[in-house]
């Protein structure tokens, strides 16, 4: 069993599922409201665990009732939470998510306790791989990746400035189409692998600007795309650590991401390894 540590955000997702997403200044009044555990780091940790890895999570939650909800599925699935610290007098991070019937979403995040993840307090365990989520404080992610002795992955989850240490030391960088466009040629200058995701169109893997592999995403009926990117990242990291060839690893990750869109909610939708492998076989 591969071992993975994730440094990233932990949130409570407040989800409004509606027929369509609102345009600026408009209202949509047919939504159904639900609450789910979420946060990019927490999603990646649970995804890796359900795909078969031994997983630990490093992050921060508030001293409130929302923390218990945010951590519930991680505890239930056996993710090691020794690195998750409760911050007094601080709110747990919250994501406000609107989801359309098509599966598309809009997300606004109030990070709360996630901002209190400090680099000097990190004691990263000796494991096979580390995933750093860029929505966590940048200095904490940079220190974790710079000092970690193993396979490192970073998700540039928003198009914003990133510490050069992260880019220089990452063995794998994951971006979507808009993030890839924002970072531009700087990604091709890095020594590590770069995975560029294109939603339902699949993904491609590069090194030094040269394409190494491309994979299609299995055709599925998307219900909610929240968490699909986090699942892709966890699956690709795990597959590469396991020694899967680039093309097979990318296909596995695309199938995992697609599988995560078939149920509502970020963490409730995360697939098991059996579910991903069945989807892969059905796509052959």
For 120-129, 192-201, 228-237, 249-258, which range has the lowest pLDDT when averaged over its residues?
A: 120-129
Q: Residue 66 has what pLDDT?
A: 93
- Work out whether strand 3-7 and strand 129-133 pair parallel, antiparallel, or are unpaired: parallel
Q: Residue 156 has what pLDDT?
A: 86
Q: Which helix (H) or strand (E) holds 161?
A: none
- Interval 31-80: pLDDT, tens: 999 998 999 999 999 999 999 999 999 999 999 999 999 999 999 999 99
Question: Comparing C-alpha atoms, which of 232, 238, 235, 228 is closest to residue 260?
Answer: 228
Burial class (CB in 10 A: 0-12, 13-18, 19+), 65: exposed
Query: In this predicted model, which residue has the larger pLDDT, 28 or 157?
Result: 28
The CA–CA distances, whole Å, from 10 to 29, 40, 58, 113, 195 equal 29, 7, 9, 9, 24
Q: Which helix (H) or strand (E) holds 51?
A: none
Question: Comparing C-alpha atoms, which of 172, 237, 183 is closest to residue 206?
Answer: 172
- Interval 149-201: pLDDT, tens: 999 999 987 666 777 888 888 999 999 998 888 888 888 888 999 999 998 89
Q: Residue 121 has what pLDDT?
A: 74
Q: Give the integer Cα–Cα distance in Å for 239 and 258.
A: 16
Q: Residue 283 has what pLDDT?
A: 66
Burial class (CB in 10 A: 0-12, 13-18, 19+), 79: buried
Supply the residues annotated as catalytic: 230
The class (CATH top level) of 3-10+39-91+113-283 is alpha beta
- Give the domain ranges of the chain: 3-10+39-91+113-283
User: Which pTM was predicted?
Assistant: 0.92
Q: At what angle do helices 273-283 and 246-259 cross, to 10 degrees?
A: 110
Helix, strand, coil % in the chain, rounded to nearest 5? 35, 30, 35
Q: Residue 284 has what pLDDT?
A: 57
Query: In this predicted model, which residue has the larger pLDDT, 53 or 263?
Result: 53
């Amino acid at each position: 069993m591969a071992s993975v540590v994730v440094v990233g955000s932990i949130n409570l997702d407040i989800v409004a599922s509606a027929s369509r997403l609102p345009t600026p200044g408009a209202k949509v009044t047919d939504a159904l409201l639900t609450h789910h555990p979420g946060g990019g780091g927490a999603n990646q940790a649970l995804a890796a665990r359900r795909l078969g890895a031994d997983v630990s999570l490093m992050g921060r939650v508030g001293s409130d009732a929302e923390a218990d909800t945010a951590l519930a599925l991680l505890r239930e699935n056996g993710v090691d939470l020794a690195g998750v610290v409760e911050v007094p007098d601080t709110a747990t991070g919250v994501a406000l998510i609107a989801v359309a019937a098509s599966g598309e979403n809009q997300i606004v995040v109030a990070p709360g306790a996630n901002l209190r993840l400090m680099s000097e307090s990190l004691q990263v365990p000796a494991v096979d791989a580390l995933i750093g989520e860029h929505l966590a404080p940048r200095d904490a992610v940079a220190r974790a990746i710079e000092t970690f002795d193993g396979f490192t992955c970073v998700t540039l989850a928003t198009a914003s400035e990133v510490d050069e240490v992260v880019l220089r030391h990452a063995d794998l960088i994951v971006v979507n189409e808009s993030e890839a466009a924002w970072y531009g040629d700087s990604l091709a200058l890095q020594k590590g692998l770069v995975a560029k995701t294109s939603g339902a169109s699949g993904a491609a893997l590069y090194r030094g600007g040269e394409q190494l592999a491309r994979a299609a995403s299995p055709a599925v009926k998307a219900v909610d795309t929240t968490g699909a990117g986090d699942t892709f990242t966890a699956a690709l990291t795990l597959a590469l650590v396991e020694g899967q060839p680039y093309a097979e690893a990318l296909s596995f990750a695309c199938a995992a991401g697609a599988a995560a869109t078939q149920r509502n909610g970020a963490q409730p939708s995360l697939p098991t390894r059996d579910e991903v492998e069945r989807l892969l076989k059905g796509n052959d």
